Amino acid sequence: MNNPEITVSAEAAEFLKGEGAEALGLRFVPLPNGRFSMELPRPCDHRHANPERRVMRLAEVVLFPDQEAYQRRQSINALAKITKWGQFQPWAATEITLSVRGPNEQGKQTYAILNGQHTYLAALHSDVTELPVAIHTDLSLQCEAYLFTLKNSAIALAASQLAKALRAWGEPVIWQISGILAEYGLSLNTTGRGSKNPFSKQVGAVTGLRSVIDTNGPDGLATVVRWLVTGFEADDDTSRFNSYVIRGMGNFYSRYVRQRRRGKDVSLVDDIRFVRQIHGRYASIGKLARRYMNSMGGDLAAGYASALVHTYNEGLPAKSKTRLPSYSKINDLACTDAVAVLDATG
């Protein structure tokens, strides 16, 4: 399957280069319109990555988790399970999967740990001197990251941490998201830790961002990010990028901006009015969202979408034809009536 074309502005391209995109194998190709096409690394062919399995003496080699490129941060809880009661617990250990990296300055062979970093750390702090390992050779960094995601996608790994590995192997959706955020000087937080800086330019709600792009496509996510940045610019609070806020705006976009009628998408929303109505009202809309959730049920994202409808309709006469139908009661008939009004008014 061919990767989708991802284009960014010149400013976003420079921002992504500063974030290390080129070191991960991306190329930025100039287009006639002044934008740049992002060429992702070639997909990793893992079919021939058959590891050699053997027992390795730990004193003779250097093993390390490449946390800069794709590995997750070390977990005290994961380490504690393997070193229960101060002893190495073989039953809790996982197979160590390695990739050959070459000798270090001291002449010792080094290996990147694709899986089992906590097993290795536990062994170092015990009397274990050798461990069974599976060794891959001739893997590119992209292939290492790809195999890491295969081995770790089923465990309780934070979505933002997994996103770091997905970026490293060139997963298209993650780079589409990164390109959209870069247009506003924002980047994905791939550490798994939230930022305490209210002016942080990192967005950690990877699950929310993926939900919106999966449902509404790149144009939908680009609109949602623009709303968040321009509508709440006066709030200067990273909580505006919370997952429920992003998903709530995505729900609003799906219901009111992407109405499919007569073979084309028809928007019921006046974009200028919407941004004006929500401007600087992040806190009050959040409180209203919780009231909707508590009174109508559903999750907070649905409550947020209802709060956005309420905010949009504020100031419009009760019988105004431009009022949006209720989010909780919207149906095809209501949308058809609203689209008919838009058609009639040009």
Q: DSSP string of 122-176?
A: HHHTSS--EEEEEEE-S--HHHHHHHHHHHHTTSS--HHHHHHHHHHHT-HHHHH
Whether 146 and 164 have beta carbons less than 8 Å apart is answered as no
Q: For residue 135, is it within any domain? A: yes
Q: What is the pLDDT of residue 342?
A: 39
- What percent of the chain is predicted at pLDDT more than 90? 30
Dihedrals φ, ψ of 202, to 5°? -105, 135
Report d(CA 119, CA 162) in Å as an integer.
Answer: 20
pLDDT at 253 over 90: yes
Using pLDDT thresholds of 50, 70 and 90, give the confidence band for residue 199.
very low
pLDDT at 338 over 70: no
Find the domain containing 107 and state its range: 52-152
DSSP labels for 31-52?
-TTS-EEEEPPPPP--TT---E
Mean pLDDT of the 224-253 span: 83
210, 148: one domain: no
Total domains in the fold of the chain: 2
pLDDT at 110 over 80: yes
> Distance from first CA to last CA of the chain, Å, rounded?
41
Residue 110: left if φ>0, alpha if ψ -120 to 50, beta else—which one? Answer: beta
| Bridge partners of residue 54, in order along the sequence | 133
326, 258: one domain: yes
> Residue 56 is which amino acid?
M
224, 339: one domain: yes
322, 230: one domain: yes
Residue-wise pLDDT for 255-275, tens only, equals 898 765 556 667 889 999 999
64, 127: one domain: yes
Task: For tokens 């949602």, name the residue.
Answer: 224
Residue-wise pLDDT for 277-314, tens only, equals 999 888 899 999 999 888 877 889 999 999 999 999 99
Mean pLDDT of the 55-72 span: 85
Q: For residue 221, is it within any domain? A: yes
C-beta atoms surrounding 155 within 10 Å: 11
Query: Which of 152, 187, 221 is the last residue in one of the domains?
Result: 152
Query: Which of 132, 152, 172 is the last residue in one of the domains?
Result: 152
Q: For residue 32, is it within any domain? A: no
CATH code: domain of residue 106: 3.90.1530
